């Protein structure tokens, strides 16, 4: 006969941790659930490495596909020529120098665009998680007085990169269909995008995918800090606007951050 005191309590079931790849796509549908899940688990570097690699592969493939098109290279060359002529008009360059520079640019432009785009994609893919991870960590610890590890912020920001990867893919497909470098933003309605015009870059920054990314970063901040989304969003969107303004001011408004 077994005494009741000897009966063992049933072991509680621990939910099995999903893959970083699956968690990355779950961010699109239920970001709050994903961030609350990683908050309770040990740091998993795959949560930012896998999205960074995914964005790198998609982004680089899009660059090579898009800038293998003659019409795309023509638009880039035209923008470069306009920028050079602006330098001549301001007296910062002589016409002969501009002509020589344009000749060299046309010769090496296809390689330069692909190499430059590849490097920019890699910097963005592996740099964004650490930049926005710092923002999440700073707001959580210093503003909302929570206590989270810096790498938790990096994990959360990394998982959000799927939004940028999706933006690159859809933006490329849209441009291919339109037969021109088209923007998924109010900049689409411009007759011609001027790479020397800061207002045009400001319109391009209003890409709904970029705004979506900022909203997900706010969700991550709220989930890891234990505060409402509204409180987190005020800080995150304020910083996001500030970052965009700085990039536009230094003529890097086309960078994804």
Q: Per-residue pLDDT tens for 216-244? A: 999 999 999 999 999 999 999 999 999 88
CA dist list (Å): 173 to 67, 111, 177, 197: 13, 21, 6, 25
The overall average pLDDT reported for the chain is 87
Task: List, for residues 94-136, the tens digit of each pLDDT value.
Answer: 888 777 877 777 778 888 889 999 999 999 999 999 999 999 9
Reading the block at residue 91, the tokens are: 């007296």
State residue 121's pLDDT score: 94
Query: d(Cα 95, Cα 101) in Å, to the nearest integer?
Result: 10
Backbone angles phi, psi at 143, to 5 degrees: -95, -50
What distance separates the 2 farthest-apart alpha carbons in the chain?
Answer: 103
49 SS3 class = helix
Mean pLDDT of 13-17: 50
- Rounded to whole angstroms, how far apart are CA atoms 43 and 149? 9
Mean of pLDDT values over 190-211: 84
Q: What percent of the chain has pLDDT over 70?
A: 90
Q: Hey, what are 53's tokens? A: 């690699």
Is residue 254 predicted with pLDDT exceeding 80?
A: no
Q: Which pLDDT belongs to residue 179?
A: 85
Q: Which pLDDT band, with edges at 50, 70 and 90, does 1 fall under?
A: very low
Q: What is the pLDDT of residue 222?
A: 97
* φ, ψ (nearest 5 deg) of residue 15: -55, 135
List the chain domain ranges.
44-249
Name the pLDDT band for 161 (thresholds 50, 70, 90). very high
Give pLDDT, residue 172.
93
At residue 51, does pLDDT exceed 80?
yes
Predicted pLDDT of residue 185: 86
For residue 7, give the DSSP letter. Answer: P
What is the C-alpha to C-alpha distance for residues 233 and 4, in angstroms, rounded to an integer?
A: 54
- Predicted pLDDT of residue 101: 77
Q: What is the pLDDT of residue 251?
A: 67
pLDDT of residue 5: 44
- Name the more confident of 28 and 187: 28
Structure-block tokens of residue 8: 């063992």
């Amino acid at each position: 006969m077994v005494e009741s005191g000897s009966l063992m309590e049933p072991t509680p079931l621990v939910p099995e941790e999903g893959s970083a790849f699956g968690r990355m796509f779950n961010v699109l549908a239920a970001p709050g659930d994903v961030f609350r899940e990683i908050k309770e688990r040990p740091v998993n570097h795959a949560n930012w490495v896998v999205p960074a690699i995914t964005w790198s592969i998609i982004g680089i493939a899009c660059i090579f596909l898009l800038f293998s098109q003659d019409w795309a290279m023509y638009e880039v060359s035209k923008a470069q020529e306009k920028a050079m002529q602006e330098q001549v008009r301001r007296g910062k360059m002589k016409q002969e120098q501009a002509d020589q520079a344009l000749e060299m640019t046309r010769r090496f432009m296809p390689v330069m665009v692909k190499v430059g785009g590849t490097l920019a994609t890699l910097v963005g893919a592996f740099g964004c998680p650490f930049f926005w991870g710092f923002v999440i960590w700073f707001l959580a610890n210093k503003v909302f007085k929570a206590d989270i590890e810096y790498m938790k912020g990096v994990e959360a920001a990394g998982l959000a990169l799927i939004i940028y990867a999706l933006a690159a893919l859809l933006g490329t497909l849209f441009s291919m269909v339109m037969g021109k470098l088209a923007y998924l933003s109010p900049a689409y309605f411009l007759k011609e995008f001027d790479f020397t015009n800061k207002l045009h870059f400001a319109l391009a920054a209003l890409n709904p995918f970029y705004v979506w990314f900022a909203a997900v970063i706010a969700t991550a901040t709220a989930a890891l800090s234990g505060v409402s989304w509204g409180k987190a969003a005020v800080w995150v969107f304020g910083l996001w606007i500030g970052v965009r303004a700085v990039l536009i001011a230094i003529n890097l408004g086309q960078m994804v951050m």
